[in-house]
């Protein structure tokens, strides 16, 4: 039997001060749903899914938080930010439950792509999340 060598996206793992608060953020804003909980090493790991995108939430309560620049950490070895596309940035932002902590923007990048707009927000653990409309490939 032949083994496939195809590579597929799996997930992003996030360390969380409060897994429930982080799960609520990604569920309420981006439509993620809990797909599995695994108990390992005395703690639960929560898996979320939205289509083909998966997030893995780890309990990191009590760990010292990092501080990041407005669009994420700038040094090698760190993920700069997570990013999501929406059809209408203003409409999306108007429907967000509660207040978002905006770290940068909204900014327009019409000089690169007409209609490309982005805002960067912080999730409950300080991870930078980019939300854009209008990006297209060349």
- Taking phi over 0 as left and psi of -120 to 50 as alpha, with beta for the rest, 2 belongs to beta
Q: Measure the CA–CA gap between 128 and 121, rounded to whole angstroms.
A: 6
Q: Which fold has domain 70-138?
A: 2,3-Dihydroxybiphenyl 1,2-Dioxygenase; domain 1 (3.10.180)
Q: What is the pLDDT of residue 68?
A: 66
Run means of pLDDT, 10 residues per run, the chain, 138 residues: 66 89 95 92 90 89 72 70 92 90 94 94 92 90
Q: Which of 85, 91, 24, 30 is nearest to 57 (CA)?
A: 24
pTM for this model (two decimals): 0.80
Q: Which fold has domain 9-61?
A: 2,3-Dihydroxybiphenyl 1,2-Dioxygenase; domain 1 (3.10.180)
Q: Matching CATH topology for 9-61 and 70-138?
A: yes
Q: How many CB atoms lie within 10 A of CB 104?
A: 16
Q: What is the pLDDT of residue 74?
A: 63
Q: Where are the domains of the chain?
A: 9-61, 70-138
Q: What is the pLDDT of residue 15?
A: 87
Q: What is the pLDDT of residue 76?
A: 64
Q: What is the pLDDT of residue 63?
A: 72
Q: What is the pLDDT of residue 137?
A: 86
């Amino acid at each position: 039997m032949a083994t496939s060598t195809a590579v597929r996206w799996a997930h992003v793992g996030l360390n969380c001060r409060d897994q429930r608060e982080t799960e609520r953020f990604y569920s309420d804003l981006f439509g993620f749903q809990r797909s599995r909980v695994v108990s390992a090493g005395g703690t639960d790991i929560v898996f979320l899914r939205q289509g083909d995108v998966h997030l893995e939430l780890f309990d990191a309560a009590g760990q010292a938080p990092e501080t990041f620049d407005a669009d994420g950490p700038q040094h090698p070895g760190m993920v700069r930010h997570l990013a999501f596309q929406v059809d209408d940035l203003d409409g999306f932002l108007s429907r967000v439950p509660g207040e978002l902590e905006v770290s940068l923007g909204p900014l327009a990048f019409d000089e690169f792509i007409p209609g490309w707009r982005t805002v960067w927000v912080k999730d409950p653990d300080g991870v930078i999340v980019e939300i854009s409309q209008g990006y297209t490939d060349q």
